[in-house]
Amino acid sequence: MAMTIPEAKRNWTGKINSVTIGAGSEDGGTRTSVITVGGATSLPFYHFEGEFPHRPVVAMEVWDVPAEEWPEVVQEPFADVMGDPGAWAQKCVEEHGADLIALRLQGCDPSGADRSPEEAAKAARAVLEAVGVPLVVWGCGNVDKDNDVFPAVAEALSGENCLLGTITEDNYKTLTALGTAYGHKLIAESPVDINIAKQVNILALDAGYPMENLVMYPSTGALGYGIEYVYSIMERSRIAALQGDKAMALPILCDLGVQVWKAKEARASADELPGWGDVAARGPMWEAATAYTYLVAGADVLVMRHPQAVRATRKAIERLMGEGGQS
């Protein structure tokens, strides 16, 4: 009697929302390219089981001030443009193939340069005018200052359908109102906790902001620094969404460059880590390996820093997607 082999495919009832970032001239914006992420109907890259209409994308990080705290190995490719956010963004796009620019308003930090909302808006406009790709805009991380800065920035970028972040469980009202008023998408941040992630999404919905305009950000860890736990949260989130939980059916963003380049393995010299090899090769490899991990966990947007890591990650995305997707 022949043995019957059970069907390996899963028939999921849910799907990941598709979220579009950027607005072209036909939608009242100025972007020469528009990015859509999400839309998957199965676990990452299970092409035999579901559809993946949009490939994962890479955003390269740009600051509104010189990133003096970055290690030399990741500063070096941008040493000639770090004083000019527009030129920096242009280099990321034209030389290194960034799909999006992630502008971090680090200069607004009250413990640093403490730049004004007007200066932040000016920096955002400079980046917008320098490149044609969509923008992701991060605050400085100080809640009170970000609440002061984002109204000016959101207005300066009005109609461009940017991705602004982040909203949290305790601080979501300002950005949800601005996203609605000026036509921007939002990043919903949670501290690697699936229940809090769901709660933030629901709070945004309760505030009148469509969940279909959110991208989820579970706080990211670097390779060797809690990445397994973050992976498990991302995987559980994806499974919940595919099982029909609409509050979890959001594309996922991983802000990994900021974490990778804090790790000693990525930034320490060969003298500090004997036997680990040249940091000029090791650092980008550490960032790329972190990116690979998050790709197979379900990341849709990767925020990265080093051009070598970006190139390697884009090639990995192409291989993983095969003939199956488009941006």
Q: What is the pTM (predicted TM-score) of this model?
A: 0.95
Q: Look at residue 211 and tell me whether its pLDDT is greater than 50.
A: yes
Q: Is residue 285 part of a domain?
A: yes
Number of structural domains the chain divides into: 1
Q: What is the pLDDT of residues 103-148, one digit of tens each?
A: 999 999 999 999 999 999 999 999 999 999 999 999 999 999 999 9
Q: Is residue 29 part of a domain?
A: no
- Distance (Å, whole) CA 109 – CA 88: 20
Q: Is residue 1 part of a domain?
A: no
Q: Residue 234: which domain range?
A: 44-321
Q: What is the pLDDT of residues 212-255, one digit of tens each?
A: 999 999 988 999 998 999 999 999 999 999 999 999 999 999 99
Q: Look at residue 45 and tell me whether its pLDDT is greater than 80.
A: yes
Residue 4: the pLDDT is 58
Angle at 293 between CA 287 and CA 295, to 5 degrees: 100
Q: What is the pLDDT of residues 24-43, one digit of tens each?
A: 999 999 999 999 999 999 99
Q: Is residue 33 part of a domain?
A: no
Q: Is residue 19 part of a domain?
A: no
CB 136 within 8 A of CB 102: yes
Burial label, 61 (beta-carbon count in 10 A; 0-12, 13-18, 19+)? buried
CATH code of residue 220: 3.20.20.20
Q: Is residue 32 part of a domain?
A: no
Q: Which two tokens stand for residue 248?
A: 């979890």
Q: Look at residue 294 and tell me whether its pLDDT is greater than 70.
A: yes
Q: What is the pLDDT of residues 52-92, one digit of tens each?
A: 999 999 999 999 999 999 999 999 999 999 999 999 999 99
Mean pLDDT of the chain: 95
Residue 6: the pLDDT is 53
